[in-house]
Amino acid sequence: MAKLSVKVDVNRLPLLGKGGLVEVLKALTDPRKKRGIRHPFESVLALATMAALSGMRSYESIAEWAADVPKDILRSLRCWCHQAPSEPTFRRVLQSVDADEVDRAVGEWLSKLEGLSGQGVALDGKTLRGSRDGDNKPVHLLSAITHEGGVVIAQESVSEKTNEIKHAASTLQDVDLAGATVTADAMHTQKEFARFLVEEKGADYIFIAKENPPTLLDDLKTEHDGDFSPSGKNV
């Protein structure tokens, strides 16, 4: 399942029609076999996505949230017998879907709706609690999150925190950041990443300067405020 981890007002998000969530999800690959299908793939995903955006975290809570959706919406989604999918249905679909594909689609959809120009976008890495599986390391995600709404607009799984630097640009590659300001911790205070944001994405940035890399902090102390353009091109 897409790793959406925020709570937003889903009532203001378009579900049906051109540019709606269902249209976006309908373009994704349905991994199910045709035999025995009751609920449309995009409808199951749409309900699951809206539930996740409302703060639901488990298959059970997603199913309970969907069960409270008005019948007219379930009917418009072409749900079987105008009933919400069951918990096992959500579980089967979400475990079989390409989570990265869903993440990208929903993230791009949300970022277009939000309109990032003039907004702040935080690049933040988190290790998911309880995600350790046997000898496998816990899942570590690098996410792009809007400052104002707390909406996850893009994210990528990285092997561990120290590898975030390699994934910073690729996490934001498909996001329209023109006019946005990207914030990140000192780990991402890198020349190449700064150039990527300004020259390729048309964004500004605010980075933290520490004593690593060498001489950076000393160089900044010798500069004057007027030496820096609003676009942050001096790095």
- Domain residue ranges in the chain: 10-104, 116-227
What does the chain come to in residues?
235
Residue type (1 letter), 116: L
Distance CA(186)–CA(114), nearest Å, equals: 27
Predicted pLDDT at 104: 80
- The tokens for 171 are 């996490």
Distance CA(217)–CA(228), nearest Å, equals: 15
At 192 the three-state DSSP class reads helix
Distance CA(111)–CA(121), nearest Å, equals: 10
Predicted confidence (pLDDT) per residue in 89-129, tens digit: 999 999 888 887 888 888 778 777 767 888 899 998 887 65
CA distances from 183 to 112, 121, 157 (A): 19, 6, 19
Q: Residue 47 pLDDT more than 80?
A: yes
DSSP tag of 136: B
Tell me yes or no: is domain 116-227 CATH 3.30.160: no
Predicted confidence (pLDDT) per residue in 145-170, tens digit: 888 777 778 878 877 666 788 889 99
Residue for token pair 């990527």: 196
Spatial CA neighbour of 186 closest among 220, 149, 136? 220
Return all residues near 7 (Cβ < 8 A) that are at least 6 apart.
53, 54, 55, 150
CA angle, residues 80, 85, 89, in degrees to nearest 5: 115
Segment holding 125, helix H or strand E: strand 120-127
pLDDT more than 90, % of the chain: 28
* Model confidence, pTM: 0.59
Distance CA(96)–CA(57), nearest Å, equals: 17
Q: How confident is the model at residue 7 (pLDDT cuts 50, 70, 90)?
A: very low
Residue 157: beta bridge partners? 141
Distance CA(153)–CA(5), nearest Å, equals: 11
Q: Residue 82 pLDDT more than 50?
A: yes
Q: Say which range, 33-37, 68-72, 115-119, 125-129, has the weakest mean pLDDT.
A: 125-129
Who wins on pLDDT, 228 or 55? 55
Distance CA(167)–CA(174), nearest Å, equals: 13
Q: How many other C-beta atoms lie within 10 A of the C-beta of residue 235?
A: 15
